Structure 1
Amino acid sequence: MTKLVSANAGRPLGHAAFKSLAMGGIAALVLAIAAPAAFAQSVPALPEVEGPIGSSADDMQHPSRRGPTLGQDTPQAWPAYGEPEFHNYIEDEFFISGEANGAPYTTRIVVRRPADIDDFSGYASIETLHPAQSAQMWMATRVGGMMNGHAYIEVVNTPGLIGSLQAYNGERYAGLSIEGAVTEEGQTDPAQNEIIAQVAYLMQTANPLGDEWNVEHMVISGASATSRTAMNFMEQENGNAAYQMDDGSSLIDAMYVWDTNGPSQDVLDSVYDVPVIILATQTEWDDGTRTFPADSEDYRLYQVAGMPHLESREMYEAGWNECTLPIDNFMFNAMVFMGLDYMHGWLEEGQEPPMAERIEFEGDAENAAIVLDEHGNAAGGMRSPQVEVPWETFSTPNEGNFVCGLMGTATPLPDDQLAQMYPTPAEYAAQLVAQTSRLIDEGWFPPEYIFEISAEIERFASRGNTND
């Protein structure tokens, strides 16, 4: 694997390298459009903070860092390299209190960050707790994020999820409530956005860990349901401009969400005023959507060929055993981190992310079929090592229960075809390493995830091909 590292000499592989770079800014990348005078802008109120709240065997903190996730059994252990302790990371839970939508609230936030301030990049993803009771952006990008010193802020901003916390540990979370969470049918709960705004402001100006931890780049994030929550915040009345920092700058510096097709072209053009990255999986365009906004100065859409809505490489206990078809084993987390890495470079270094090809369709009509390459994988889009050096065909959805419908499946190519493509496992490994090295050099695969390449080589070798 040394070839993969040496081939990418010069690209930062961790937070130490990032800290050697000059501090950049986002000013040149944000649209220089002043908010109309009619916009009702306000600096969010600072909530009161209690914590960090200790945890013990008799008083456990809700394990949103790893579920519980919809439909799963008790979570199995992550590999050591995926655990916070491996990267000298700390998880702090706080209770915050304030007023939202004219009524009091007390909720919790969780801050995941390096133990040493010298390792903090200044970049933070702020996301709301997913209805599946997990912090999706943290779970998907944590390995690369921890290697680079990024922080993750999880916010609980709905009564339903407070109920989930209380169901897990009723005594610990008994005092949490959101009284202002009332809305007319079909309308977004106004308390949700106000709580997000207050937490974002708190973490940038009066961080409960100390002012040296104040976030420099606040990126609102989410996946699937929480991607919609993030977009609701950006698309509220007056958009992101509804709230501002003390100096009049944006409260939220950028948005990166995945498991969605993102906003429409009209909404993107009229509302969004900061850099936006959308990472869309194959599940998203399998729904019949064929019209997507064009990339622009401050917008990128990455459609990842073969990628399903849900991850299975780590979360193999999440009910996948009920799926009828084989599970895909796609390099999901590496591709999600790729988007985060692009956004960090955009904000910190002023490095515009590359524009990727779009997925190819057999015409412009809704439900037009996806064009397939010679190995049966989707043509075009962002290409992972698995589709550049294929031994399987990736497709969506899987079959079975509701969760399976969000999964993908992978079908091995015929043995005779594989024998021609890769006469030995060593030949497959050589091709995979070479193509991954190229993707890293071109900025299409994160070097932090080269361990996935070793895992893929082992997976191919264990499929029964022993002609080495």
Structure 2
Amino acid sequence: MSSSPWRRLGLAAAVLGLLLPTSLPASAAPGSPPRVVGPLPGAVPGDRLADRIEDTYPFFATPDDLAAAGYVEEEFHVSGTADGWSVDGTKVATGVPYTTRVVVRRPAHARQFTGTTLVEWQNVTAGYDLDALWNAESVVRAGHAWVGVSAQRVGVDQLKTWSPARYGSLDVTGGGRFTADELSYDVFTQAGRAVESGAVMGGLRTRTLLAIGASQSAGRMTVLYDRVLPQQQPVFDGYGFIVGTAPTRVGAEPVFQVLSETDVRTAQRPADTDRFRRWEVAGAAHSGYQGQAYREPISERDLGGAPRYECDRPPFSRIPMHHVTAAAYDHLRRWVERGTPPPTARPLEFEPDGVTKKRDALGLALGGIRLSQLAAPRALNTGDNSGETFCRLFGTHVPFDAATLARLYPERGDYVRQVVAVDAAAVRAGYLQPADARQNLTDALGGTR
């Protein structure tokens, strides 16, 4: 397209002006839901460089067949005024206008909806919004909803460049005055209020609102929980901090931290309490195979190509970390709704120096939550790697040779029996959901692990 960016922005504003907002509160006072415009038109496939918003589609729209499961994906613009906060909890601004976007994946009909919504703080470490914790299998089978929030400048700036027609009006910096994400905490919580009010949910009523964030986003949510939340009206009922830091403050809302082997670097760790639970997953990587495989075709579509890495060891652990986080979310929901605390889990083991992980003769980590991909292994899966850029986050995956497999599983059926036994124990302990255990067995029988 040859039209100028200014023309695109003008057309975007004109189109957005024709869309009726689903919520128009009289003010953006604390505790009230923000203004909401949408759902925005356009869906994949589309022309992201088009001059008309209806000829675009949501950035990183999921390729999952949501319609077949009775789900929809919708995108909204959310606007209001936000306070600004420094990372030490000092208020640095009041009532700064903002506009951002949220992506909603939810049941199409209320009868399918459990009333639980997972609100993810989109991760921007790669320079763009990443729904790092979207797991279609577990969300759909549970009947939950998932909402992704663009809370930070880096993600919003990339969106505006990617499609001026769709995103040109977004701003989470107060017109460039607050570029260190000072507004992000209020932007995220106000998006939670838009979910709570039903304005972005097609009228679905959320009873349990859970905030989740991975890695860098977990760090932002830690600041929110430890330093900002005590000065705000609560929005979320519980918090899931995945492969990242977790709060030290003891608050009313329960906190669940789930870490991969990559993330556990010392034997010093906080103790579980009646408001805090921590799980550590042996062999899992901070960013493993499942997430990379899901995002590769989306990156090809929306970014023109998927990144390639030259790591020192074969990358991407195959331990399904998302199976454990699915179980954790369900425990967090019950913790909020019924007061039932999640089960505790054995931590990873360390050598006496407190920084070197203990490993068995195969090189597999000892301790931690142990899924069948690790405890009935056909490959070396670890949380460690090195090399360029993000390689240290990918872990390793090295298939065992035939001699090693013959030694581990001398009799026909030994391998499958071990898979069943290991995962059955994980289900009983509460670390794995039965549907994921069945998938593990299917994979084992099909030789795809």
Q: TM-score, normalised by structure 1?
A: 0.76
Change beyond 3 A, Cα 1:425–1:48: farther
Corresponding residue of 2:435: 448
Task: Measure the CA separation in 2 of the matches of 1:456 and 1:399.
Answer: 29
Corresponding residue of 2:423: 436
Corresponding residue of 1:60: 56
Q: How many Å apart are 1:320 and its aligned residue?
A: 5.2
Task: Measure the CA separation in 2 of the matches of 1:410 and 1:379.
Answer: 17
Alpha-carbon displacement from aligned partner over 1:8-28 (angstroms, at most 9, x marks no partner) = xxxxxxxxxxxxxxxxxxxxx
Q: Which residue identity is paired with 1:260?
A: G
Q: Is 1:103 the counterpart of 2:96 in the alignment?
A: yes
Q: Is 1:375 the counterpart of 2:367 in the alignment?
A: no
Q: Is 1:125 the counterpart of 2:118 in the alignment?
A: yes
CA contact (8 A) 1:261 1:285 kept: no
Task: Measure the CA separation in 1 of the matches of 2:175 and 2:254.
Answer: 29
CA contact (8 A) 2:311 2:385 kept: yes
Q: How many Å apart are 1:254 and its aligned residue?
A: 0.9
Q: How many Å apart are 1:330 and its aligned residue?
A: 2.0
Alpha-carbon displacement from aligned partner over 1:271-306 (angstroms, at most 9, x marks no partner) = x331111011111124xx331110011111001111
CA contact (8 A) 2:283 2:381 kept: yes
Change beyond 3 A, Cα 1:158–1:181: farther
Aligned residues: 386
Task: Measure the CA separation in 2 of the matches of 1:424 and 1:134.
Answer: 48
Q: How many Å apart are 1:62 and its aligned residue?
A: 3.1
Equivalent position to 1:274, from 253, 259, 263: 253
Task: Measure the CA separation in 1 of the matches of 2:290 and 2:193.
Answer: 35
Change beyond 3 A, Cα 1:314–1:191: closer
Task: Measure the CA separation in 1 of the matches of 2:41 and 2:178.
Answer: 38
Q: Is 1:84 the counterpart of 2:63 in the alignment?
A: no
**Structure 2 unpaired stretches of 5+:** 1-28, 48-54, 84-94, 297-305
Change beyond 3 A, Cα 1:189–1:236: farther
Tell which has more relative contact order, 1 or 2 (C-alpha 8 A, sep 6+): 1
Corresponding residue of 1:20: none
Equivalent position to 1:173, from 150, 167, 175: 167
Q: Is 1:162 the counterpart of 2:144 in the alignment?
A: no
Write the mapping of 1:205-354 to structure 2, written as runs, cut at 5 A.
205-211=197-203, 213-237=204-228, 240-244=229-233, 250-263=234-247, 267-269=248-250, 272-286=251-265, 289-313=266-290, 315-316=292-293, 317=296, 318-319=306-307, 322-327=310-315, 328-354=317-343
Task: Measure the CA separation in 1 of the matches of 2:384 and 2:175.
Answer: 35
**Structure 1 unpaired stretches of 5+:** 1-41, 67-76, 245-249, 462-468
CA contact (8 A) 1:128 1:154 kept: yes
Task: Measure the CA separation in 2 of the matches of 1:182 and 1:200.
Answer: 24
Corresponding residue of 2:18: none
Task: Measure the CA separation in 2 of the matches of 1:454 and 1:446.
Answer: 15
Corresponding residue of 1:149: 143
Change beyond 3 A, Cα 1:181–1:171: closer
CA contact (8 A) 2:214 2:242 kept: yes
Q: TM-score, normalised by structure 2?
A: 0.79
SS at match of 1:176: coil
Cα RMSD of the aligned pairs, angstroms, is 2.5
Q: How many Å apart are 1:134 and its aligned residue?
A: 4.2
